[in-house]
């Protein structure tokens, strides 16, 4: 039988610009591991790798759901008790105009669904720079140009409203706000949210409010309280994203949600579009949804310990950054990331790869999240305990001293 030459099957061209810097560095780490070294990973925001455990009452709720036979398909929007709890949580956050809520396979699916349901070819969405690379990956998948707006490092990484205004045009559909921010740990002040809301209102836009870290606030007091933009601007169409991954230490369960708020008439057709997509993908994980109500309505005791640990590790991280030559850092106010600036002549992508090869510490290059031209950064995940972080930071300092004499 004649053999037909194999024709190469190429991937779609719209994927050419899809990058996910956090995991794209795995090949370098694998190379170092094959050489017999142990890599200290400060690149992935998974609390369960370190000394953080999923609250026991959530595990029991999922286990009970499995035992009770909740192993088939769930309703496409989510189970009723979960949706009720999500709406109740939105009310506690001060969101008074909730029009819809739905459960997804992690907040990442909520982002994917909501962008897909909104943006047409030729239109665009403004995403923060730096930002979490999921947004640019989804937009590239949809064939939508990525349009970043600057966060201002000199203003504690708050959105640069002048740059944002400059980039809004007739094709703009939405603004993404990650608050607390990944990768900087920044949190928006009420004044900033009010100004951003007014800008959105004048231009008839949607806000995607990623608030997956909203309970991981590292400081106390009014100035650092987390505020939802949907609460500040109840009239605006806002989709607020949340989930169990970070606040409730269950990233592998892949349970997230979206809450649509604003004027009922204005958002109705958009909500219908979202639900068409939710029905098409059937449902989110079923038994894990039974953890949503006990998570949101039940005891929050674990958060005290989590915040205490993160606060100490944040303080150690910032102190190291600001006492190390060539490194400086704006102190994170939420989440568990720091985004230090590094003064070097070569690219930060080269820096992180060579750091891993030389000192076996893995961080993520700032250019993988976006940054202003001429600046260089790297992202640290400060989830490990203090002795582990101190060891890692000494290795990084030694590498900087040796490489950039």
Give the DSSP letter string of 305-338: HHHHHHHHHHHHHHHHHHHSTTEE-PPP-BTTEE
The whole-number average pLDDT for the span 214-228 is 83
Sign of the CA dihedral with 207 first, then 142, 278, and 129 last: negative
Query: For residues 44 and 232, what is the distance between their CA atoms, to the nearest angstrom?
Result: 32
Q: How much of the chain, in percent, has pLDDT values that exceed 70? A: 95
**What pLDDT, on the 0 to 100 scale, is given for residue 357?**
94
**What pLDDT, on the 0 to 100 scale, is given for residue 223?**
54
Residue 27 has pLDDT above 90, yes or no: no
Q: How much of the chain, in percent, has pLDDT values that exceed 90? A: 88
Strands 255-261 and 98-105: antiparallel
The whole-number average pLDDT for the span 256-268 is 98
Residue 15 has pLDDT above 80, yes or no: no
Query: For residues 209 and 229, what is the distance between their CA atoms, to the nearest angstrom?
Result: 7
Q: Which of 35-39, 104-108, 258-262, 304-308 has the lowest mean pLDDT?
A: 35-39
Residue 18 has pLDDT above 80, yes or no: no
Q: Which two tokens stand for residue 119?
A: 């943006």
C-beta separation of 321 from 232 below 8 A: no
The whole-number average pLDDT for the span 21-48 is 86
The whole-number average pLDDT for the span 189-214 is 97
Residue 22 has pLDDT above 80, yes or no: no
Comma-separated ranges of CATH 3.90.1150.10 domains in the chain: 13-52+302-403
The whole-number average pLDDT for the span 241-269 is 98
In three-state secondary structure terms, 161 is: helix
Q: Which fold has domain 56-297?
A: 3.40.640
**What pLDDT, on the 0 to 100 scale, is given for residue 141?**
92
The whole-number average pLDDT for the span 28-57 is 92
CATH class of the domain at 13-52+302-403: alpha beta
Residue 5 has pLDDT above 70, yes or no: no
Identify the band that residue 220 occupies on the pLDDT scale cut at 50, 70 and 90. confident
Taking each helix axis from N to C end, the angle separating 348-359 and 386-403, rounded to the nearest 10 degrees, works out to 110
On average, the pLDDT of the chain sits at 94
Strands 378-381 and 337-338: antiparallel
Residue 297: is the preceding peptide bond cis (ω within 30°)?
no
In the sheet with 337-338, reading across from the earlier edge strand, the strands are 337-338, 378-381, 364-365
Comma-separated ranges of CATH 3.40.640.10 domains in the chain: 56-297
**What pLDDT, on the 0 to 100 scale, is given for residue 10?**
81
Q: 351-356: list long-range contacts, CB under 8 Å, 24+ apart.
A: 351/376, 351/378, 352/25, 352/378, 353/25, 353/28, 354/399, 354/403, 355/396, 355/399, 356/25, 356/28, 356/29, 356/32, 356/39
Name residue, tokens 């260089």: 376
C-beta separation of 259 from 85 below 8 A: no
pLDDT tens digits for range 44-90: 899 999 999 999 999 999 999 999 999 999 999 999 999 999 999 99
Identify the band that residue 219 occupies on the pLDDT scale cut at 50, 70 and 90. confident
pLDDT tens digits for range 130-178: 999 999 999 999 999 889 999 999 999 999 999 999 999 999 999 999 9
Phi/psi at 258 (nearest 5 deg)? Answer: -130, 145
Considering only CA atoms, which of 108, 129, 26, 30 is closest in space to residue 339?
Answer: 129
Identify the band that residue 191 occupies on the pLDDT scale cut at 50, 70 and 90. very high
Q: Count Cβ atoms below 10 Å from residue 267 Cβ, excluding itself.
A: 21
The whole-number average pLDDT for the span 381-403 is 97
Considering only CA atoms, which of 247, 315, 183, 243 is closest in space to residue 52?
Answer: 247
**What pLDDT, on the 0 to 100 scale, is given for residue 2?**
65
């Amino acid at each position: 039988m004649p053999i037909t030459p194999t024709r190469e099957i190429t991937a779609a061209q719209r994927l050419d610009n899809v990058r996910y810097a956090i995991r794209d560095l795995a090949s370098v780490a694998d190379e170092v591991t094959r050489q017999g070294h142990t890599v200290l990973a400060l690149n992935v925001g998974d609390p369960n790798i370190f000394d953080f455990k999923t609250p026991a009452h959530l595990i029991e709720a999922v286990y009970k759901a499995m035992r009770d036979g909740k192993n088939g398909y769930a309703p496409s929007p989510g189970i009723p008790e979960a949706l009720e709890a999500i709406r109740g949580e939105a009310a506690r956050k001060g969101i008074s105009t909730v029009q819809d809520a739905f459960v997804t396979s992690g907040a990442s699916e909520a982002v994917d669904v909501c962008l897909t349901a909104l943006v047409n070819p030729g239109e665009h969405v403004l995403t923060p720079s730096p930002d979490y690379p999921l947004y640019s990956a989804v937009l590239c998948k949809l064939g939508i140009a990525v349009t970043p707006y600057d966060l201002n490092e000199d203003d504690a990484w708050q959105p640069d409203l002048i740059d944002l205004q400059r980039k809004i045009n007739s094709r703009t559909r939405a603004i993404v706000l990650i608050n607390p921010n990944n990768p900087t740990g920044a949190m928006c002040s009420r004044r900033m949210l009010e100004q951003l809301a007014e800008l959105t209102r004048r231009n008839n836009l949607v806000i995607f409010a990623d608030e997956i870290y909203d309970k991981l606030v590292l400081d106390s007091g009014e100035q650092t309280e987390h505020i939802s933009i949907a609460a500040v601007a109840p009239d605006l169409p806002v989709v607020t994203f949340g989930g169990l991954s970070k606040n409730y230490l269950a990233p592998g369960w892949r349970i997230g949600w979206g809450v649509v708020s604003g004027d009922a008439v204005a958002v109705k057709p958009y909500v219908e579009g979202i639900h068409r997509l939710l029905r098409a993908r059937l449902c989110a994980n079923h038994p894990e949804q039974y953890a949503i109500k006990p998570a949101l309505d039940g005891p929050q005791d674990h958060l005290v310990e989590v915040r205490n640990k993160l606060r100490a590790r944040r303080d150690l991280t910032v102190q190291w950054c600001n006492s190390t030559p060539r490194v400086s850092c704006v102190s994170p106010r939420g989440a568990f990331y720091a985004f230090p600036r590094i003064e070097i002549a070569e690219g930060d992508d080269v820096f992180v790869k060579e750091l891993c090869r030389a000192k076996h510490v893995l961080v993520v290059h700032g250019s993988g999240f976006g940054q202003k031209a001429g600046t260089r950064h790297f992202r640290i995940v400060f989830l490990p305990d203090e002795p582990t972080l101190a060891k890692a930071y000494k290795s990084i300092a030694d590498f900087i001293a040796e490489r950039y004499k």
